[in-house]
Amino acid sequence: MASAGGIRKLLAPRPERAPRGVPLRWVLTACVFVLTATLLGLALGPVDLGLAAVGREVLSHFPFLGVESSFSPTQDAILWELRAPRIALGLLVGAMLASAGAAYQGVFRNPLADPYLLGAAAGAGLGATVVIAYDVGGSGGADLRPVAAFVGATLGVGIAYLLGRSVGGRQTTTLILAGVTVAAFLTAVQTYVQQSSAETVQEVYSWILGQLETSGWTDVLIVLPYVALSSIVLLWHRRLLDVLAVGDDEASSLGVPVARVRLLVVAAATLGTAAAVAFSGLIAFVGIIVPHAVRLLVGTSYRLVLPLSLAFGAGFLVLMDLVARTVVAPAQLPIGVVTAFLGAPFFAFVLRTTRTVGP
């Protein structure tokens, strides 16, 4: 309490122009959206479990309600061992990609930046392709795939960052160009490896297009700490991202350690993205459309854009995955196809409606 009072005193001289937190109506909207997406995801799927039956099953796990589940062991397994972890992974990956995208757009002041900008996707792709094509660690590389993708993504961004730094200059353009260079190189190597082992092309291809199929709750529990840590760091820096928006020199003159903030945000976003792609593959477009849709709704302040991107990204990906696993049921589509195919028109719609309403 004392320290809170101290902070308040410190901050007191500053004029409060904008509300400090996220407005209640947006908090509620985000909560309702995520909850609805989760419930829809649980209730619907290639196998019809029945809405009421799913509701009874979920309620039966709450004590003192006296609700009996009508589920068979198979239905129970479908709901809790297949659907639920898949939705949980979707929430984590969606939240991560969207908030990392928003953060990247902030530090690079580039509206086209996405979590894959600095070579994370190319690096992860190379890592996964190598273990699949050369069958590293058995099971067609399935066991080592997440580790390889994670290492590839962090290495890709690391090399891009060092290259950008060695070229010199504090221009974000240098860093972006370094990222593009590294990504092009890694993609070339990845394609070579993929083509030299034709019988695994199918597997590599379906990994690259993204999927949220889990091997149970373990995957979710591995991703969770990375996403949590990364999100905390990104949310912590949301005000500084607003300051960065005015330009590096201006931010420096305001006392913001620009280089350090940029490194920290890029590192956090990369770590989280790497953990996400390690299990989900390369899901396109989420890191761009979700933050932009949020901006069109609530304005450009990162105090709103970051937390809301996180929430809407989570719900968005769960809904997209719902489409991916039901539209051609009992078969399924790679989720990357759905995010791009439905995401693009959705974004066009948001763009148009906000234009006509706005100034």
* Nearest approach, Cβ of residue 130 and other proteins (Å): 16
* Nearest approach, Cβ of residue 46 and other proteins (Å): 5
Q: Of 237, 238, 303, 325, which lies in the binding site for other proteins, with binding defined by CB under 8 A?
A: 325
Q: 56: Cβ–Cβ under 8 A, 6 or more apart, which residues?
A: 67, 68, 69, 70
Which residue type occupies 43?
A: A
* Nearest approach, Cβ of residue 20 and other proteins (Å): 43
Q: 49: Cβ–Cβ under 8 A, 6 or more apart, which residues?
A: 43, 57, 71, 75, 78, 79
Encoded tokens for 133: 């094509």
> Does position 85 bind other proteins by CB under 8 A?
yes
Report the candidate in 144, 107, 151 with the shortest Cα–Cα distance to residue 269.
Answer: 107
Q: 168 or 330: whose CB is closer to other proteins? A: 330
Question: Which residue matches tokens 């060695």?
Answer: 166
Dihedral angle computed from the Cα positions of residues 348, 173, 304 and 89, in that order, rounded to the nearest 10 degrees: 70
> Does position 203 bind other proteins by CB under 8 A?
yes
Q: 16 or 199: whose CB is closer to other proteins? A: 199
Which x/- pattern over 33-72 shows residues binding other proteins (rule: CB under 8 A)?
Answer: ------------xxx-------------------------
Q: Of 9, 13, 15, 199, which lies in the binding site for other proteins, with binding defined by CB under 8 A?
A: 199
Q: 307: Cβ–Cβ under 8 A, 6 or more apart, which residues?
A: 22, 30, 235, 238
Residues that bind other proteins (CB under 8 A): 45-47, 73-75, 77-78, 81-83, 85, 135, 138-140, 142, 195, 198-203, 206, 211, 213-217, 325, 328-332
